[in-house]
Chains A and B, each alone.
Chain A
Amino acid sequence: MSVGTTVTEPTARSAGKRSQISGKLAPYGYVSPTVILMVVLMLIPIVMVLGYSLMDNVIMKQNPQFVGFAHYVDILTSDSFHGAVWNTLIFTGASVIAHLVIGLIFALLLNTDLLGNRTKALFRMIYILPWLFTVAIIAILWRLLLAPNGVVNYLLTSSHLIGSQIAWLAEPQYALFAVTFINIWSGYPFYMTSLLGRPPGDSDRPLRGSQGGRRQPPTAVRVHHPPAAAADRHQHGPARLHLDDTAVRPHLDDDRRWPVEYDGDAEHLHVQTRLQPVSVRERLGERSDRPGYLPGAGYLLRPRPESP
């Protein structure tokens, strides 16, 4: 794993060159673990599958032979493949439509402003449950529910919707329907949460009030030249920082939304928002004391813990 660019020393030219080269190589260093893994365990199997598909006597036997597209012809002309494709189309089509419809309905219900946040949170929790199960659990659970003498058949027969018990997963005319139904049950929460977005009550400001949706307080800000602001202060009173959603304005100017007081010394920046100043220097430890360090060149602001 390569470490990124080295620090450029303005006086040493060779060091500068070296950092240029390592700067070019750095991204490859960062992606190399991913690339190695993906090539060995993903690309190679894909190539192998393509190779196998054109050959006979592979995998279990010796002496592989190249047979061209013979296997493809076999499959494309076989009835069982057509049946499988047809079943898959029904299964997929019905699932996607139902996922979207159910997901959208539930998301709309959960987005209502008629109920309190707690009630909605409770229902959201229930609605997401099917998502949390592994396929093995889903399969076993629904085998239990859909068994001939299981609870689904009991409910349907006792309400006279069906005459006699049905082996939902065993009879060919019902099996595809039953499996699709199970898949819909286990899959809609993903669509629902994607449509739902952030849970209500999660943002710092209420949803309504501002027209353009929620505004997040800035997560980071950098102050370029506090000394200049200090000079400025003598003329205009306390300097104010402009904090933007995109976080950074590299200059000091007036801002009414998140005022910041600056007392003239780069080491003491008082921020009177719910943001907390953390200097890059603090993050980097002693590193910043090297010559060439511009005092106050960088500050990070973190959201302050909620004030009581």
Chain B
Amino acid sequence: MTARRQQRFLARAGVLVLLVIGSLYAGLPVLWMISSSFKPNTDIFEYPPKLIPGVATLAGYATIFTDPTKVRFFLNSYFVSLTVTLLTLLVAILASFAFSRYEFPLKRVLNVMIIGVQAVPPITLLIPYFGLVVFLGLYNTYQGLILTYMVFTLPYAIIMMTGYFNTLPRELDEAVKVDGGGSWTTLWKILVPISIPGIVSVGIYTFMIAWNEYLFALTLTKTVEMRTVPIGIQLLMGQHSYEWNEMMAMSVLGCIPVLVLFLFFQRYFIGGMTAGSVKN
């Protein structure tokens, strides 16, 4: 009996040690980022390096919050990401409803198209895309960025939402029909309210993609007041050569929205990722 308990204790200690080693690999770089953001820039490469800064300062953060250009990066990112999230959800819910509840001739073709475009690496389309956006008059505008991000977020949003709708019984639709409601009513009054978990996870994932996007934000905007946070961080690098503490402070601030979303909606994050993966 005691031997068994001892064995269990050892196993527990072993697992704990492995978990701690793993979390050093995952977490130390992040810890270093946070610690560097509180150091004066002169101490960044001090020897020997210290994880806990000898002199802690908020200078890095202060320069960001007092510079309207840098605050603008954040406002741009919030505006673009939130708009993309809302619009993607709206358009994806409509399309998923059709894919889940209707049989129509072009369904298969559209499905293949939506899954197929996911496989195209965005960077290969950059050059004609740039030309197209300039042609449409969307260069250096919010609309240009928002529509672009929607093209990237829609395919997986539709796939996930269709999967979610497929899990909801069709008898619900029938019940609405019996009660005299049309398909529009079925969708917005019945299916959408009970799909909130699926919608939340699609929304979070969409927000995360939009917030973190770099390549197209760099290509499709020109002026500094249109830049988003990822570009802003990179711009710091050119502007004042290597204000490391400021770059780290901006990085910390830049990942806070996603981190907060993750903390509050963990279960949707993880559960929702695979929600649409089961096809029937």
A interface vs B, CB < 8 Å? 1, 3-7, 23-24, 26-28, 30-31, 33-35, 37-38, 41-46, 48-49, 52, 59, 105-106, 109-110, 112, 114-115, 121, 123, 125-130, 132-137, 139-142, 144-145, 147, 149-151, 154, 158, 185, 189, 193-194, 196-199, 202, 219-220, 222, 246-248, 250, 280-281, 283-284, 287-288, 290, 292-294, 297-300, 302
Contacts and interface: CB of A to CB of B under 8 A. Distances in A.
A22 B270 CA distance: 39
| SS of B interface (majority) | helix
B151 A41 contact: yes
Nearest to B190: A283
B219 interface: no
B186 to A, nearest CB: 7
Contact of A46 (B102, B120, B176, B187): B120
Interface stretch (B52-60, B62-70, B244-252): B244-252
B176 A31 contact: no
A132 B255 contact: yes
Nearest to A110: B19
B179 A287 contact: yes
Interface of B: 8, 11-12, 15-16, 18-19, 22-23, 25-27, 29-30, 32-33, 36, 44-45, 47-49, 91-92, 94-95, 97-99, 101-102, 104, 106-107, 110, 113-114, 117, 120, 124-125, 127-129, 131-132, 147-148, 150-151, 154-155, 158, 168-169, 171-172, 174-176, 178-187, 189-190, 193-194, 208, 211-214, 229-231, 233-234, 237, 244, 247-248, 251, 254-255, 258-259, 262-263, 266-267, 269-271, 273-274
Contacts of A26: 98, 102, 183
B29 A302 contact: no
Contacts of B271: 197-199, 202
B176 A4 contact: no
Contacts of B98: 26-28, 30-31
9 contacts: A1-B94, A3-B183, A41-B147, A115-B16, A127-B22, A135-B230, A144-B36, A284-B189, A298-B174
A123 B113 CA distance: 39
A284 B185 contact: yes
B230 A134 contact: yes
B171 A293 contact: no
